[in-house]
Amino acid sequence: MATSSVYYLNAPSLGSATAVFTNSTLATCAADGFYSDGVIVREQVDCVLLPQQTCPTCDNVTYNCDSGNCVDPLDGSGTYSTLAECQAACISPVNYNYYTFEACNGGSPIDYRSILSLALYDVYAFQASPPDRTCYTITSITAASNVNDLPTLYGPKTDCEDIDCTQP
């Protein structure tokens, strides 16, 4: 019986790929077996995809986008008729981290939203070049607000006394 799961290819399509992987870094090969995109099927043996074949039993394969992953509901009721169509439309939601920064030279805390994973008490700067670079210390990694109008983040810096940081 066919099952659906998330797999990663080392090429834009199953037809041009040489292997199937279980992680986005392409470090772990998927198990030996048959893989299909709904149009063709290829068998993988020892992390090598064999030549493609037409997939006569794939007529009922469809896909839904579920939290950034394309999943076959196994009953033909999916929104997308091909895996490629689903993958083009199904983009993972961005996961933001929320931080509170306090300026090294004083002032009110600023909440900041970022896709970066930053460490508590690290020091970062928000301006492109000294001497106008104000540095901030991360004082909370669970800020509640969604402010993201700060400029590009630079760092981490050594500490608030870093040569790149504006001194009070």
128-162: pLDDT as tens digits: 455 556 777 877 777 665 555 555 566 677 777 77
75 shares a domain with 109:
no
Instruction: Quote the number of domains for the chain.
Output: 2
State the average pLDDT over residues 26-37: 89
User: Of 89, 119, 145, which residue is a domain's last?
Assistant: 89
Range of 32-46, 86-100, 120-134, 154-168 with top mean pLDDT: 32-46
Cα–Cα distance measured from residue 18 to residue 45, given in angstroms and rounded to the nearest whole number: 11
pLDDT band at 41 (very low <50, low <70, confident <90, very high): confident
CA dist list (Å): 129 to 64, 136, 148, 160: 46, 15, 20, 15
CB within 8 Å of 16: residues ≥ 6 apart: none
pLDDT tens digits along 71-85: 888 777 889 888 888
* One-letter amino acid of 110: I
| Lookup result for tokens 């083009």 | 88
Return mean pLDDT, the chain: 77
Predicted local confidence at residue 21, as pLDDT: 94
Closest alpha carbon to 168 in 124, 109, 103: 103
If one compares 102 and 145, the residue with the highest pLDDT of the two is 102
116 shares a domain with 84:
no
Domain-located, residue 168:
no
Is the pLDDT score of 28 beyond 90? yes
Domain-located, residue 163:
no
